[in-house]
Amino acid sequence: MTEVASPQELSKEDLLDAYRTMRTIREFEERLHTEFATGEIPGFVHLYAGEEAIATGVISHLGADDYVASTHRGHGHAIAKGCDVKGMMKEIYGKAEGLCHGKGGSMHIADLDKGMLGANGIVGGGPPLVCGAGLSAKVRGTNQVAVSFTGDGGSNQGTTLESMNLASVWNLPVVFVIENNGYAEATSTNFSVKGIDIAKRADGFGIPGVTVDGHDFFAVHEAAGEAIRRAREGGGPSLIECKVNRYFGHFEGDAQTYRAENEVENLRCEKDCLDNFRRRVASAGLIDEGELDRIDEEVKQLINEAVEEAKAAPDPKADDLLTDVYVSY
């Protein structure tokens, strides 16, 4: 059975863990931004930088056997769920030692041993998966919880709305997290989410919906703690809309002509979740900034090693072409 801490109790170790996770995601993504430009990485990558507080704030409440279903922008969720960072980097480089033996790439990173049901190239693909995972937990009588992450674009998909209905009908231990970063690919939510707030949609299915600042780890952590506690105790599904921004384009190579001049620079100055976290834990006297600096250095070293090892790792062989592709029942 999953054992997790009370939602609101954050020890110094919890805070350091949260910072390390957020910093690892940031460093991973910033480095990929640089490396992708060299042309060595196959396929597409969609970077999560700017949104780290959400994955970290939500998944810090989950145990190893809880489930996460992610999006095409899934690196942050995978790191927060405990996937091996070096294995992830090798996967993104398409190497045989990658988490999915190089067959998944950025958009299909999965590690079922960690409860990571996978990044997902299908927009709105995660919510139906967590209905299945949630139903499984309910039927087996475990107290596992399944959390899906979906973007604002995905929130408009029928799959998401159907899943909210199904989860409510079956009272599943599921949390739908909507990462509203303001753009569905290049289309502003002002033009694509019409009339009704995303959080409000939960009302239509008889489940609670809340909106939180997705830049603020503490806000996300508190709301997610209550939603996950509620799901674990039989209270059924809920929806958390996190208002946030991404620092990079929809995909690497996106010219981002749809964004205002200096939009990202201003966001980095004013809303950065890591800066915000550092300032607040330091001013509260909970953590010395030197400890956070040491984490920064350790994470930088980890990501350097991950990139070097990924580049040096062997490619899959032609003989592996059909392995792990088909399932025999």
Binding test (CB under 8 A) with other proteins, winner from 39, 158, 195, 290: 195
Q: Which of 3, 158, 194, 327 binds other proteins (CB under 8 A)?
A: 194
34: closest CA among 233, 248, 294, 213? 248
**Of 169 and 196, which CB lies nearer to other proteins in the complex structure?**
196
Percentages (nearest 5) of helix, strand, coil residues in the chain:
45, 10, 40
Residue 196: CB minimum distance to other proteins, A: 6
- Near other proteins by CB under 8 A: residue from 1, 139, 284, 327: 284
Binds other proteins by CB under 8 A, chosen from 41, 68, 85, 199:
199
Residue 77's nearest CA partner among 69, 65, 85 is: 69
**Which residues have CB under 8 Å from 311's CB, separation 6+?**
40, 93
**Cβ–Cβ under 8 Å, residues 115 and 68:** yes
Q: Contact between 141 and other proteins (CB under 8 A)?
A: no
The answer to whether 16 contacts other proteins (rule: CB under 8 A) is no
Please identify, using beta-carbon distances, which residue of 108 and 221 lies nearer to other proteins.
221
| Segment contacting other proteins by CB under 8 A, of 81-89, 117-125, 155-163, 208-216 | 208-216
For other proteins, which is the closer residue by CB, 10 or 22?
10
Q: Which amino acid is at 134?
A: G
- Taking Cα atoms as reference points, which of 166, 244, 246 lies closest to residue 207? 166
Strands (E), the chain: 67-69, 116-118, 146-151, 174-180, 183-184, 187-188, 209-213, 238-243
Give Cβ neighbours of residue 28 (< 8 Å, ≥ 6 apart).
75, 79, 85, 88, 89, 303, 306
Q: How far is the CB of 256 from other proteins (least distance, A)?
A: 19
60 sits near other proteins (criterion: CB under 8 A): no
If DSSP codes are grouped into helix, strand and coil, which group holds residue 213? Answer: strand
Piece of 43-51, 67-75, 205-213, 249-257 that binds other proteins (CB under 8 A): 205-213
Q: How near is the Cβ of 86 to other proteins at its closest, in Å? A: 33
Q: How far is the CB of 226 from other proteins (least distance, A)?
A: 4
Sign, Cα dihedral of 180, 10, 276, 256:
negative
Strand partners, 209: 239
Q: Does 221 bind other proteins (CB under 8 A)?
A: yes
Site string for other proteins, 263-282 (x = CB under 8 A): -----------------x--
The SS3 assignment for 148 reads: strand
Mark residues 151-190: x for contact with other proteins by CB under 8 A, - for none. Answer: --------------------------------------xx
39 binds other proteins (CB under 8 A): no
Binding part of the chain for other proteins, among 82-90, 99-107, 111-119, 217-225 by CB under 8 A, reads 217-225
Residue in the structure block whose two tokens are 């899934």: 74
**Which long-range contacts (C-beta less than 8 Å, at least 24 apart) are formed by 319-326?**
320/96, 320/101, 323/101, 324/100, 324/101, 324/103, 325/103
Which residues of this protein are in contact with other proteins, per CB under 8 A? 8, 10, 189-190, 193-197, 199-200, 202-203, 208-212, 216, 218-219, 221-223, 226-227, 230, 238, 241, 243, 280, 283-286
